[in-house]
């Protein structure tokens, strides 16, 4: 017999379950958003106070520009600012990558032999203590003005944090785990690749965060000492020109752009750190809890 409409089972959608799932998500979103409110409020108060004080006392723009003057100057010189920002970011990225690769490889080499570590590591410390400005003219003589010298200066500034932090991590491997690998007749290469490097990963990422921000500083310092002008100039060159012309508003815009670039590099590295450590290391597990 054919079933009538009244005989068929009534299918209803359980909206209460979906609503119950959305409620915790909404609460989590509100909680995270509320965490940014104090910083946002402090920023608004600071910028608003800065603008108000400058207008109240009629501070000359060449001395302390108002935030609106800085934004206006950044918009008016947008193409030049973006070109300088891209040049500095490119130089920073290259120097940062070199400091990452050579810093990790150098730390692995030093950690492989105590004799090599005691022989070479003190000279790495000496190299770090020499002011970059003092040796920048030598670097310019060796590499010439332009990209090569800037990248080398950036590399020197970002190299030591990677070397030092990675070396500390490699030397902090749990001795019980090292003994276990020794009992299983693991080779030094296997112990380094499968035990010591994974154990040192949190230290490496900590050094990476430091090196990321220092690389931005290194690139701008390199542009001061070995940069080229014109359309190929980076933020260092733009800051120099703005200072000579007493264009203080654009000077602030360049400085803030460099700061935002450093923050962007740090956030990218911090995101990578969370992806690599969030499933097993206490430094990231504690944040989630």
Find the CATH number of the domain harbouring 112: 1.10.3720.10
* Confidence at 252, pLDDT banded by 50, 70, 90: very high
The secondary structure of the chain in percent helix, strand, coil, rounded to multiples of 5, reads 80, 0, 20
Q: Is residue 66 part of a domain?
A: no
Alpha-carbon distance of 278 to 35, in angstroms, equals: 20
Exposure letters 195-230 (e unless 16+ CB within 10 A, then b)? bbbebbbbbbbbbbbbbbbbbbbbbbbbbbbbbbee
The CA distances from residue 274 to 252, 267, 278, in Å, are 33, 10, 5
Domain span holding position 197: 85-278
| Cα–Cα distance measured from residue 194 to residue 188, given in angstroms and rounded to the nearest whole number | 10
Residue 232 pLDDT exceeds 60:
yes
76 domain residue, yes or no: no
Q: Is there a domain that residue 133 lies in?
A: yes
CA gap 175, 159 in Å, rounded: 28
Q: How confident is the model at residue 195, as a pLDDT? A: 92
Across 23-35, average pLDDT: 70
| DSSP designation for 192 | I
DSSP state, residue 247: -
Return the pLDDT at 71.
95
Q: Which residues of 253-270 are buried (b: 16+ CB within 10 A; e: fewer)?
A: bbbebbeebbeebbeebe
How much is the average pLDDT of 135-140?
88
What residues contact 92, with CB distance under 8 A and at least 6 apart? 154, 215, 216, 218, 219, 261, 265
Cα separation, 222 vs 148, in Å, equals 10
Cβ pair 223, 236 in contact under 8 A:
yes
Of residues 232 and 158, the one with the higher pLDDT is 158
Q: How far apart are CA 240 and CA 243, in angstroms?
A: 5
Which contiguous run of DSSP H or E holds residue 219?
Answer: helix 201-226
Alpha-carbon dihedral 93, 98, 99, 101, rounded to 10 degrees: 120
In a domain, 17, yes or no: no
Other C-beta atoms closer than 10 Å to the C-beta of 15 total: 8
125 in Cβ contact with 149 (< 8 Å): no
pLDDT at 258 over 90: yes
For residue 182, pLDDT over 50 is answered with: yes
**Sign (positive or negative) of CA dihedral 282, 93, 75, 254:** positive
Residue 15 has pLDDT above 50, yes or no: no
Interval 175-200 mean pLDDT: 90
Residue 239 near residue 197, CB atoms below 8 Å: no
In a domain, 35, yes or no: no
Q: How many structural domains are present in the chain?
A: 1
- Round to whole Å and give the CA distance between 267 and 273: 10
Is pLDDT of 5 > 70? no
Residue identified by tokens 């380094």 is: 192
Contact 261, 85 (CB under 8 A): yes
Question: What is the reported pLDDT for 165?
Answer: 94
State mean pLDDT over 242-258: 93
Residue 202 pLDDT greater than 60, yes or no:
yes
For residues 71-89, give the mean pLDDT: 93
């Amino acid at each position: 017999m054919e079933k009538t409409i009244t005989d068929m089972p009534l299918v209803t959608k359980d909206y209460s379950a979906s609503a119950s799932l959305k409620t915790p998500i909404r609460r989590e979103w509100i909680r995270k958003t509320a965490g940014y409110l104090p910083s946002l409020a402090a920023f608004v108060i600071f910028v608003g106070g800065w603008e108000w004080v400058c207008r109240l006392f009629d501070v000359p723009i060449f001395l302390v520009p108002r935030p609106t003057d800085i934004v206006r100057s950044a918009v008016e010189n947008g193409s030049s600012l973006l070109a300088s920002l891209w040049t500095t970011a490119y130089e920073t990225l290259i120097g940062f990558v070199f400091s990452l690769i050579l810093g990790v490889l150098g730390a692995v080499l030093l950690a492989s032999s105590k004799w090599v570590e005691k022989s070479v590591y003190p000279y790495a410390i000496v190299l770090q203590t020499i002011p970059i400005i003092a040796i920048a003219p030598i670097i310019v003589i060796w590499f010439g003005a332009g990209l090569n010298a800037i990248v080398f200066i950036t590399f020197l500034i970002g190299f030591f944090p990677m070397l030092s932090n990675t070396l500390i991590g490699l030397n902090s491997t749990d001795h019980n785990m090292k003994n276990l690998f020794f009992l299983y007749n693991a080779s030094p290469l296997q112990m380094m690749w499968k035990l010591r490097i994974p154990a040192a990963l949190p230290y490496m990422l900590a050094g990476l965060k430091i090196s990321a921000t220092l690389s931005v500083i290194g690139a701008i310092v390199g542009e001061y000492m070995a940069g080229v002008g014109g359309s190929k100039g980076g933020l260092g060159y733009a800051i120099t020109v703005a200072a000579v012309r007493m264009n203080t508003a654009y000077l602030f815009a360049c400085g803030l752009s460099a700061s935002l670039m450093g923050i962007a590099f740090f956030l990218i590295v911090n995101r990578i750190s969370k992806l690599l450590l969030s499933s097993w290391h206490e430094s990231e597990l504690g944040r989630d809890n």
